[in-house]
Chains A and B, each alone.
Chain A
Amino acid sequence: MVNYILRRLMIMPLLIFGVTLLIFAMLQFLSPVERAALFVRDIPKTDKAIDAFIIKYGLDDPLPVQYWHWLVGRRDPSTSEITGGILRGDFGYSKTANLEVIDMIKRRFPATLELALWAVAPIVLGGVWLGVLSAVNHNNAIDQVTRVFSILGYSFPTFVFGLLVLMIFYVGTGWFPPGRLSNEMNVVVLGDAFHRYTTMNTVDALLNLRLDVFIDAARHLILPVLTLSYLNWALLLRVTRSSMLESLRQDYVTTARAKGLAEHDVIGRHARPNALIPVATIAGLLILLLLNGVVITETVFNYPGMGKAAADAAVQLDVITVLGLVLFNGIILVLSNLIVDITYAFLDPRIRLD
């Protein structure tokens, strides 16, 4: 167990190092002038100034030197001021957001986190419930309906599903608008009387006891959450279903039935808890799917999170910004996978034996 966790912990820095190397490699496709946005916001226009600039920031240094400066920043010899350096949290300057990339992430991350947090409960509960339902009714009508539902779910591209629900629930009925807040509520939220503790609107609204703001924020969240959940149910449903089918075939389930337990208890207390262990392994995959999903979902619903920032920046070819976001998300992913792996070792005794 300790060995297992230690090994995971040792691989992690290696992975993060690999991630930074790969991102640095992608940076090398950019011209030195484009890379200058890593260090400064104003890039000179004239050729002469550009040459001086490239030398000043070492944009034509050997690659290992550049990599080092990219990691820890570069000290200006004359002013001894340090610029850049992803380890210092300086990811460069975002042209599209008109902000330091890191400030943009700070501003956008709570919005994405709010969306993801709201989506997790429906995805997990719905997916597991459907999977168990499907397995318990193996091969009968309910199973078939659930499977059709699930195949449709993973056949629908996120943006097509998003546009369709927008068509019905926004254009058609006007119930759930796109965006993050309506204009009136935005004024309230940005006003002095409203304390922004987390900058997650639904949470802040509750902390400020403003039910009207909460309802407005929730109205804006429902469609993106619905989109993210429906498309991810398919995966959870499939894993839960097959693991539950496996579990239902075990001897202890037969024993439970033989000793006369009600079917409800056989499933709820014997089969399902064991079936859920493999389901926990895909938690990491789920985080990956959510990080991917928010890019498109936020773009379709015009929701101002990290995903939309990435899409906007990519369209305008603002590579520094997108790379900053990829780095940030990649590290989130590595760390969350580590947590998932360790949790899994606690959940499943068999894995500790490795």
Chain B
Amino acid sequence: MKNILFIILAVFIGFNFAKAELKIVTTYPYIASITKEVVKDKASVEYLAEGNVDPHFIVPKPSLSVKLRNADLLIINGASLEIGWLPPLINQASNPKINPSSSGFLDLSQFINLIEKHENVSRALGDVHPEGNPHFHLDPYNIPVISDVITKNAKHIENLINSAQSQGLDYILQDVYHSQKPAKFLAEKTGVKMVVLPHDVWGYSGGKRHIRTF
């Protein structure tokens, strides 16, 4: 019995170590292919929905939350396109890194000028997206915007290190709600002091000689 338990544990731990590289998961294949171009072989990129099905109606199969379980970054289309199927998967995955509004969650629609925004919405209009038309990737001029956003996000830490070194920063700011790991990592890399504050209170001060990681 003990041996069996040991083997099961060993197998689980083995799975854990097998996935040491940065893991990015996207909701749709088009985001995955742009991301793949950005990160090359620096991170693994997976997507949830198959490309040959209606993007509104994806079946939230339990197997999809397995992909989210170890993700470091989740990139979504946004503008309510995933509203019907993604929330239960995020919930099932129990992965705090990719919770909405954490730094491992990227909603592309936030960076796009959406068209066909409704002045007034009502379900009487049928299935409307209140944020505007979410199929923005069909406009080729939006693709550079998307890839720029993904690049900035994927290189978040790298960018932070670069700007920390070039600007001669005084402090790295950290609040009490977010994981301190990125700030600690940055502090070690650059030798800049990390300051933990209850809130982001320095955002308005004139001197920009500080940086935050969350």
* Chain A complexes with chain B: no
